[in-house]
């Protein structure tokens, strides 16, 4: 299973709120809430988050064994 916990840690560390990501960095509100609820997103979304947050994939997602 994939966890987006690193994304929220990265956002906090960089001082970026969900509002900032959506309104200032023009990230899709719908996609943000899909991530918040733990739903799957495609790799293009992961790449976009890496670009917007200037980070690596491991700063966005992690694998968690069930």
Higher-pLDDT residue of 66, 27? 27
Domains in the chain and their CATH numbers? 2-63 (1.10.260.40)
Residue 4 is classified by DSSP as: -
Query: In degrees rounded to 5, what are phi and psi of residue 31?
Result: -65, -40
Provide the pLDDT for residue 66.
85
**What pLDDT, in 10s, does the model give residues 2-61?**
999 999 999 999 999 999 999 999 999 999 999 999 999 999 999 999 999 999 999 999
pTM: 0.92
State the Cα–Cα distance between residues 23 and 58, nearest whole angstrom. 24
């Amino acid at each position: 299973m994939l966890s987006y916990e690193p994304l929220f840690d990265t956002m906090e560390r960089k001082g970026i709120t969900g509002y900032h990501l959506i309104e200032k960095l023009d990230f899709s509100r719908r996609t943000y809430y899909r991530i918040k609820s733990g739903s799957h997103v495609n790799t293009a979304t992961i790449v976009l988050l890496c670009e917007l947050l200037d980070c690596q994939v491991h700063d966005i997602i992690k694998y968690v064994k069930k």
